[in-house]
């Protein structure tokens, strides 16, 4: 977890988009560590794994799972106290439509 996560989100241009990005980042790091431990490696990020020649067949599931984590976490994000709630809710509605299509 990122220290002062809520403070960081509240002070960005778009807290809900920042939430999506940071959730993806944290999930990808967690998933990459778990996957690399199973392979006996010490990769901590998608970048390091890719740059050191790890096969895409291991990296792609990490990315797909992280996108799914970030997507559903963003849909559950509370926008009640947002300064620009209309824009935040609009983004969430767009994400809901994407979830229905996918």
**For range 6-11, the mean pLDDT:** 89
User: Token match 């959730």: residue?
Assistant: 23
Residue 32 covered by a domain: yes
> 70 exposed, middle or buried (CB, 10 Å; 0-12, 13-18, 19+)?
buried
User: In the predicted model, is pLDDT for residue 100 greater than 70?
Assistant: no
Look at residue 101 in the predicted model and tell me its pLDDT: 61
Answer for the pair 101, 84: CB distance below 8 angstroms, yes or no. Answer: no
Residue 2 covered by a domain: no
Residue 81, domain extent: 13-101
Between 100 and 18, the higher pLDDT residue: 18
User: Token match 């599931």: residue?
Assistant: 61
Structure tokens at 18: 């920042």
Q: Structure pTM?
A: 0.88
Answer for the pair 73, 19: CB distance below 8 angstroms, yes or no. Answer: yes
Tell me 53's DSSP state.
T
Look at residue 61 in the predicted model and tell me its pLDDT: 96
Residue 25 covered by a domain: yes
Whole-number Å distance between alpha carbons of 28 and 11: 23
- Tally of domains within the chain: 1
Residue 68 covered by a domain: yes
**For range 65-75, the mean pLDDT:** 93
């Amino acid at each position: 977890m990122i220290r002062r996560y809520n403070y960081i989100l509240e002070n960005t241009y778009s807290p809900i988009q920042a939430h999506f990005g940071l959730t993806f980042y944290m999930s990808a790091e967690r998933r990459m560590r778990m996957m690399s431990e199973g392979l006996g490696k010490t990769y901590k990020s998608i970048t390091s794994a890719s740059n050191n020649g790890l096969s895409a067949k291991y990296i792609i599931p990490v990315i797909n799972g992280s996108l799914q984590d970030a997507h559903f976490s963003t849909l559950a994000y509370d926008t009640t106290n947002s300064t620009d709630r209309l824009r935040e809710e609009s983004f969430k509605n767009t994400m809901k439509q994407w979830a229905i299509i996918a």
